[in-house]
Homo-oligomer: A and B are copies of this chain.
Amino acid sequence: MSLKFTLLATDGGARRGMVETAHGTFQTPAFMAVGTAATVKALTMDMVAATGTEVILGNTYHLMMRPGGDLVEKMGGLHKFSGWHGPILTDSGGFQVMSLSNLVKMREDGVEFTSHIDGGVKHFLRPEDSVHIQHQLDSNITMALDECLHLPAPRERVEKNVDMVARWARRSRDAFIDRSGYGIFGIVQGADFPDLRKKSAKQLTDIGFDGYAVGGLAVGEPQEVMFDMIAITTPLLPTDKPRYLMGVGTPLDILGAVERGIDMFDCVMPTRAGRTAQAFTRLGTLNMKNARFRDDASPIDDKCGCPACKLSRAYIHHLIKCNEILGATLLTQHNLWFYQDLMRDIRLSIETGCFAQFKQDFIAKYTGEE
């Protein structure tokens, strides 16, 4: 294993670090833009890079369906195929198999499913298959295949889940081919049972990974439960490896998770919001469809340096009303820019030992409770 993580500073539980990969370095806490099907929806890769994004996430489920691991490998891997030449993390496909496909059967060996994309052909995904596809994609960070439960779940079901996740993590780790600048992360499960979270963390750290994800959260539980599970898990993880909270989240989720020792995030929120007329600002979110923006000459957020914020809210509103593609493009880039500005501010505040103050100020403005 040879993904290099350097912890540069800490401030309370918050950590400031960097991860070095074969395709360059990214600074942590990091927000990974979601590039589902080898594209961050509605943006060119140059536009993604301009936001300050340093690492993107590819979805193994979508890519194995279209265009397929073999094709991406033949085209020289995901970096060359998509034109994103920086670090790439891929998920295992497990989450989408369970949320998007028609799950046929979960077995000890792997998961059997069908998908609407290819007209209901039966697929079988074992931990070894997932790792193999991620090799084909040339992913810098491979995720071990896990099973993500819906919450709430009965304790007995979660106990079984945790043990199978550990066995699958072992098999994923064994299937992973060590290469310089590439690594594999294990995923801690355990739902909202503190003792099972602890058990899962122990099982995974015993195997040993380049980094650890906290999975199975942000699936409907209250924010406090999520924060509690993170706070229970991170102290059990090695300090010299990055920690990744999967699929999270809102700016406030991210601030709370950084405070509890998380280094990496991904979420469709900024990009999906950009395609549904929602704009993030330092004073909260705006629905750009709203008629009050029709003649508003001010930018979406006057603190933002993105291309959309060189234009007026009136123009963005006009594009949305006319269903112009550019509306989705400009808002997506703006939202990702906003997230990356937040991450930059978080990193600086940790470096300067001011994270708690920054968090308090940000939340006060963002929630309007200043």
Contact = CB atoms under 8 A, between A and B. Distances in A.
Nearest to A66: B322
Contact of A326 (B44, B314, B326): B44
Contacts of A71: 294-295, 314, 318
Contact of A295 (B74, B314, B321): B74
B81 A324 contact: no
A41 B324 contact: yes
Interface in A300-339: 307, 310-312, 314-315, 318-319, 321-322, 324-326, 328-330
Interface residues of A, number: 37
B75 A39 contact: no
B314 A42 contact: no
Q: Please indicate which of the listed interface residues A76, A294, A307, A311 has the most CB atoms of chain B within 10 Å of its own CB.
A: A311
Given A75-B297, A329-B329, A314 B81 contact: yes
A37 B321 CA distance: 11
B318 A38 contact: yes
Nearest to A330: B44
B325 A81 contact: no
Contacts of A314: 67, 71, 75, 81
Interface in A276-305: 294-295, 297
Nearest to A321: B66
A325 B82 CA distance: 14
Given A307-B46, A325-B329, A319 B39 contact: yes
A318 B42 CA distance: 14
Nearest to A82: B315
A175 interface: no
A83 interface: yes
Contacts of A246: none
A231 interface: no
B326 A66 contact: no
A43 interface: yes
Contacts of A75: 295, 297, 312, 314-315
A325 B324 contact: no
A301 to B, nearest CB: 17
A44 B330 CA distance: 8
A312 B37 contact: no
29 contacts: A37-B319, A38-B318, A39-B319, A39-B322, A41-B324, A41-B326, A42-B325, A42-B326, A42-B329, A43-B326, A44-B307, A44-B329, A67-B294, A67-B314, A67-B321, A71-B294, A71-B318, A74-B297, A75-B314, A75-B315, A81-B312, A81-B314, A81-B315, A81-B318, A83-B307, A83-B310, A83-B315, A325-B328, A325-B329
Interface of A: 37-39, 41-44, 46-47, 66-67, 71, 74-76, 81-83, 294-295, 297, 307, 310-312, 314-315, 318-319, 321-322, 324-326, 328-330
